[in-house]
Amino acid sequence: MAKPLIGVSTYLEPSVRWGVWDLPAAVLPAGYHRLVQRSGGLAALLPPDDPSQASAVVARLDGLVVAGGPDIDPERYGAEPHPLTGPAYRERDAWELALIEAALAGGTPLLGICRGMQLLNVALGGTLVQHLPEEVGHDGHCGAPGEFTHHEIKPVPGTRLGGVLPEAVSVPTYHHQAVDTLGRGLLAAAHAEDGTLEAIEFADGDGFVLAVQWHPEAGEDLRLMKALVSAAGSL
């Protein structure tokens, strides 16, 4: 039996240097594809494309991961930019939102990671906290530049996430934004000790749609990705 094919969205960077070359490149931290592979799936990296192609791409996948990355353009959820919100990556926003919409429309199992959780929420009409208060930000959500920190999350009993992670766990994390108002049909599936939403999922439990604020690709716990691969393999 063939392993499920899991697509993972990527960054499009204007300048990446390797060897004697300095060129635009579609890139992704290796932790993502390695996590898919270690969890029993085949990884396919998805560079940004015309949003009109998203349905055709997702139709060839068994599962989709929307990866972490830069802040979402606040225009997408009707907000003015906070002074500490990062620059807009509108091409990536448009592409990944189209991927999410295609996955939801087609029933393709979906896992959002960090930015991916925020995009899922925005895709369904939700809003974001653009910058966590400094006293919260220094309490475990964001480490030093380029370094993950860890904090505990508590899954909500009775949720899909609670079935995958039934106990409180320490997770790798790096973010300064978070979900604020939940999008249509979504419910909270985990919280940090300070109340920050750490996971969301569909309230009706129809299909595998789950997103987390932390970075499982930076840790050793395979349970989340194994759950996605299992759902993808059962279609």
| Closest among 3, 11, 227 to 111, alpha carbons compared | 227
Residues 32, 153: Cα–Cα separation, whole Å: 21
CA 170 to the chain's CA centroid? 18
The one catalytic residue among 33, 96, 114, 141: 114
Query: What's 193's DSSP letter?
Result: T
Active site residue 175: no
**Main-chain dihedrals φ then ψ at residue 34, nearest 5 degrees:** -65, -35
Other CB atoms closer than 10 Å to residue 119's CB: what's the count? Answer: 25
Active site residue 217: yes
CA 210 to the chain's CA centroid? 9
Q: What are 213's two structure tokens?
A: 């604020």
Residues 145, 92: Cα–Cα separation, whole Å: 22
Interior CA angle at 177 toward 171 and 179, to 5°? 85
Active site residue 114: yes
CA 199 to the chain's CA centroid? 10
The one catalytic residue among 96, 198, 201, 217: 217
**Main-chain dihedrals φ then ψ at residue 28, nearest 5 degrees:** -160, 135
- Identify the sign of the CA torsion 84, 87, 212, 146: negative
Which residues have a catalytic role annotated? 114, 215, 217
